[in-house]
Amino acid sequence: MIIAKQKPLEEIREKIANYKKILILGCGTCVAVCFAGGDKEVATLALALRMAEKMAGGEKEFVEYTVERQCEWEFLDQIRDKVKKVDAVLSLGCGVGVQALAERFPDTPIIPGVNTLFMGMPIEEGTFAERCSGCGDCILDKTAGICPVTRCPKGLRNGPCGGYRDGKCEVDPSRDCAWVLIYERLKKRGKLEDLKVIQLPQDFSKSGHPRLITTEV
């Protein structure tokens, strides 16, 4: 799941300063789950912007709507008429959604309302942890389902650095060392022999940008 965080209100107000009628567009998938850009967040942001505009003596008009996914044409085509009637779209979707909107509606300014952070998972209500870097060279079968590329700040693929202490990361002592977690899980499975297999250096050609993949339909 893509994790994002809504931009500060004042930053958003600066970005929309030159537009009078604005569509606040939410996305019903990833950003809805992480409380950054779903239906509720659209309504809350619209209320805050209307209040701020009223206090400033402005005359901006805000339209609210949420599509199921901002990253797919079929859902964007459903809002074509709405986009035609506004001066700009304030997207609460991830960076992919913003770019999809800009490509579908090239004549309309598309403004990002959130900062896209990482791919992660909820570990408790309202808390999300980064779990995947999209490196294109996955070794999770070798590391007991724990990604050292993402969960180790140094991205080490063959064991911990010399700086970890008491199972904690050298870079961030508040976090468990990813390789200690890997060791403990493999030990529990009786698979410590797996650690003797040397992983090759990461193939960065698999994560070069921009990437394109085509699958059979």
pLDDT tens digits along 139-153? 998 999 999 999 999
Domains and CATH numbers, the chain: 2-118 (3.40.50.2300), 133-207 (no CATH)
Q: How does 169-180 read in b/e, with b if 16+ C-beta sit within 10 Å?
A: beeeeeebbbbb
Residue 202 pLDDT level (bands cut at 50, 70, 90): confident
* Tokens describing residue 86: 């506004």
Is this prediction's pTM over 0.75? yes
Q: How does 99-128 read in b/e, with b if 16+ C-beta sit within 10 Å?
A: bbbbebbeebbbbbbbebbbbbeeeeeeeb
Angle at 58 between CA 52 and CA 62, to 5 degrees: 70
60-114 pLDDT, tens digit each? 999 999 999 999 999 999 999 999 999 999 999 999 999 999 999 999 999 999 9
pLDDT at 217: 64
What whole-number distance in Å separates Cα of residue 177 and Cα of residue 161? 9
* Tokens describing residue 81: 């008429």
Asked if pLDDT for residue 51 goes beyond 80, the answer is: yes
